[in-house]
Amino acid sequence: MSDSDKTNNPDSPNVGVVVKSRPKTRKPAMYKVLMLNDDYTPMEFVVHVLERFFQKSRDEATRVMMHVHKRGVGVCGVYTYEVAETKVTQVMDLARQNQHPLQCTIEKD
Ligand code: TYC
């Protein structure tokens, strides 16, 4: 029996190869959340912010805070746009509530 006969025979099982499609995907663009130095925000507040919103240990938070204090700017973390935007809002809201001028911004990685 030829292949085309089998195709038309209602009693013949349908045999095929499963092919997994691999649709083209793109890694999301990543954004750095930057913390800026100022003369008024207490060091302890900055360390608290880094622990609370950026999951830093006390040691790492202190290291990042001191880097910003000395160099003027530092990276808190790298995230997708929405997450980075949320972190900036959370930091700025808490700073405002406590009347600190702490500034935080986003930069494309
Ligand atoms: N410069 C501040 C002070 O001496 C401390 C500080 C560190 C402020 C980091 C902001 O992002 C900052 N109290």
101 CA distance to ligand 1 middle (Å): 10
Q: Which of 64, 68, 73, 105 to mutate to test the pocket of ligand 1 (most atoms within 8 A of CB)?
A: 68
- Distance (Å, whole) CA 103 – CA 78: 17
Query: Residue 7: is its pLDDT beyond 50?
Result: no
- Give pLDDT, residue 14: 62
The per-residue pLDDT for range 60-70, each reduced to its tens digit, is 999 999 999 99
Q: Which domains are seen in the chain, by residue range?
A: 41-108 (3.30.1390.10)
The per-residue pLDDT for range 20-62, each reduced to its tens digit, is 888 899 999 999 999 999 999 999 999 999 999 999 999 999 9
DSSP 66-94: HHHHHHSEEEEEEEEHHHHHHHHHHHHHH
